[in-house]
């Protein structure tokens, strides 16, 4: 899996890519962009620029078998390709951008002049709950002695989310109105959510799908995962607390989900794979349909995740965003392959461009909590920011920024770009 495209000595004729903390030539993430109001096409982030994949396909420098997929306005067709085809494209892109190749600036667009779109038409979106520290921290608020429900260590728990309201980084997030019923009140009222929160998650992109009725075995699951993005599962905690029983999240979650625009491919992340952390003594082994030795050996990832907040007060004072938490994807209790194999285990069909959220990725320490629900313990312990402002939950004008980086000794580190969103006031009641 690790090949010449990961070679740390490899440099690009795109000067800004060399030493770039996010998009060096070893990354090559895929996205969809519009240069200067032009129509949408597929591109590859390289340094401060985007390589126009449609232009490459039209110039017949990519494999003819995938040229049509490269000319589409979304990544769905490319995501449906085999692992071998995707890896071959990566080899081609790496060679084209290598410093020994002929510079082709006509295929580049400055990223700052481009609008970035959602990378794919998302057919279905499913949100998992695989962050065990988040599940424990939130469960503890309701069941101090027994925070995890009995199914947690057997089932990769999830609910079906809403694809229509998945938005790309930079789009505003409208505070939702909804039913709120705090414990202090006997009947619910309808109005703006008072407890608006973020959730730090890894977005997992389905590549090749499966036919209805045909499960995907765990040993093959990895081949169906094309790549990863950052995902913010915005959550209205007051609406959630009142509505979620007995069928789970609904309007508290489906008003907006923010995604970072780039798909960091499974191939780019090969050097950052980890052994899945051994389960604590006493935990059950995964059932056989969720257990694969290769997946246990290298199904986890070492990706550092940061949550930053920029308040209106900080923006007015020209202050930099403040980091609220730092976590890592290694804290997930289930691997992406286990989530995918479980999802398809009953014959449910998955399609290229389907999206999973991992669940909120909190770590074991207070500094690594992936939601305000956990940081402020349900709003009971407000957070004091360096600006002197306090927060229980998000206020209008607050901007939440997620970033992610993978690094390892002897390897060139890569980044995910950003998933950011500003909270806009709730619509007026009418």
Spatial distance between the Cα atoms of 81 and 61, rounded to a whole number of angstroms: 18
Three-class SS state of 340: helix
- Least Å distance between CB 200 and Mn ion? 9
Which residue in the block uniquely carries the two structure tokens 């396909």?
57
| Smallest separation (angstroms) from Mn ion to the CB of 351 | 21
Among 81, 124, 233, 238, binds Mn ion (CB under 5 A): 233
Structure-token pair, residue 187 = 């009947």
Query: Cα dist. 364→133, 178, 323, 330, 374 in Å?
Result: 6, 32, 17, 11, 12
Does 81 help bind Mn ion (rule: CB under 5 A)?
no
Piece in contact with Mn ion (CB under 5 A), picked from 193-201, 318-326, 368-376, 380-388: 193-201
The verdict on 127 binding Mn ion (CB under 5 A) reads yes
Residue located via tokens 């069909």 = 349
Counting contacts by CB under 5 A, is residue 197 touching Mn ion? no
Rg (CA), the chain: 21
Nearest to 110 by CA among 216, 33, 162, 164: 33
Return the number of the residue (107 or 128) whose C-beta is nearest Mn ion.
128
Residue with tokens 């609904």: 250
- Nearest to Mn ion of 43, 359 (CB atom): 359
Looking up tokens 């409208």, which residue turns up? 174
- Taking the complex as a whole, how short is the minimal distance between the CB of residue 148 and Mn ion, in angstroms? 16
In the bound state with Mn ion, the residue whose beta carbon lies nearer, of 12 and 232, is: 232
Known catalytic membership, residue 331: no
Residue span binding Mn ion (CB under 5 A) among the ranges 71-79, 145-153, 230-238, 341-349: 230-238
199 counts as binding Mn ion under rule CB under 5 A: yes
Instruction: Tokens for 18, please give them.
Output: 């060399």
- 20-28, 46-54, 112-120, 124-132 -> range binding Mn ion (CB under 5 A): 124-132
Which entry of 6, 20, 133, 134 is annotated as an active-site residue?
A: 134
234 vs 272, beta carbon nearer Mn ion: 234
Contact 254, 217 (CB under 8 A): no
The phi, psi pair for 160, rounded to 5°, reads -80, 120
Q: Which stretch binds Mn ion (CB under 5 A): 88-96, 166-174, 232-240, 299-307?
A: 232-240
Closer residue to Mn ion in complex, CB, 233/354: 233
Angstrom distance (rounded) from CA 316 to CA 381? 26
Pairing assessment for the beta strands 355-357 and 125-128 based on DSSP bridges: parallel
Nearer to Mn ion among residue 160 and residue 408 (C-beta): 160
Q: How far is the CB of 155 from Mn ion (least distance, A)?
A: 16
Please give the residues from 284 up to 343 whose contact with Mn ion meets the rule CB under 5 A: none
Contact 416, 229 (CB under 8 A): yes
Which spans of this chain sit near Mn ion (rule: CB under 5 A)?
127, 199, 233
Catalytic residue IDs: 134
């Amino acid at each position: 899996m690790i090949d010449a495209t990961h070679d740390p000595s490899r440099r690009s004729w795109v000067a800004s890519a060399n030493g770039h903390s996010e998009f060096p030539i070893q990354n090559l993430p895929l996205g969809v962009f519009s240069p200067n109001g032009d129509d949408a096409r597929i591109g590859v982030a390289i340094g401060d620029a985007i390589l126009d994949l449609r232009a490459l396909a039209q110039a017949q420098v990519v494999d003819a078998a995938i040229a049509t997929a490269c000319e589409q306005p979304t990544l769905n067709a490319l995501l449906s390709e085999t692992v071998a085809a995707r890896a071959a494209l990566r080899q081609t892109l790496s060679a084209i951008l290598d410093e020994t190749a002929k510079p082709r600036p006509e295929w580049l667009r400055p990223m700052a002049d481009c609008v970035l779109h959602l990378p794919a038409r998302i057919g279905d979106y499913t949100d998992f709950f695989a962050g065990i520290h988040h599940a424990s921290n939130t469960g503890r608020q309701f069941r101090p002695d027994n925070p995890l429900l009995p199914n947690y260590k057997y089932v990769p728990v999830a609910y079906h989310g809403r694809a229509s309201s998945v938005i790309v980084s930079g789009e505003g997030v409208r505070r939702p109105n909804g039913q709120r019923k705090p414990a202090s009140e006997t009947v619910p009222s309808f109005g703006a959510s008072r407890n608006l929160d973020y959730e730090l998650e890894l977005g997992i992109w389905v590549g090749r799908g499966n036919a209805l009725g045909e499960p995907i075995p765990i040993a093959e699951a990895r081949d169906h995962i094309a790549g990863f993005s950052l995902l913010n599962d915005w959550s209205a905690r007051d609406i959630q607390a009142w509505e979620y029983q007995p069928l789970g999240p609904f309007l508290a979650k489906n008003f907006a989900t923010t995604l970072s625009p780039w798909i960091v491919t499974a191939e780019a992340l090969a050097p950052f794979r980890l052994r899945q952390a051994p389960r604590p003594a006493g935990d059950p082994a995964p059932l056989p349909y969720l257990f694969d030795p290769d997946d246990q050996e290298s199904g986890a990832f070492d990706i550092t995740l940061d949550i930053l907040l920029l308040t209106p007060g900080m923006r007015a004072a020209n202050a930099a965003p403040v980091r609220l938490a730092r976590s890592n994807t290694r804290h997930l209790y289930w691997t992406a392959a286990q989530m995918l194999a479980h999802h398809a285990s009953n014959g449910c069909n998955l399609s290229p461009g389907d999206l999973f959220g991992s669940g909120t990725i909190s770590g074991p320490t207070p500094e690594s909590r992936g939601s305000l629900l956990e940081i402020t313990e349900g709003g009971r312990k407000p957070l004091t920011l360096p600006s002197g402002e306090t927060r229980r939950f998000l206020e209008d004008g607050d901007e939440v920024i997620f970033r992610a980086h993978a690094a390892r000794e002897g390897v060139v580190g890569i980044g995910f770009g950003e998933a950011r969103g500003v909270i806009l006031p709730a619509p007026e009641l009418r």
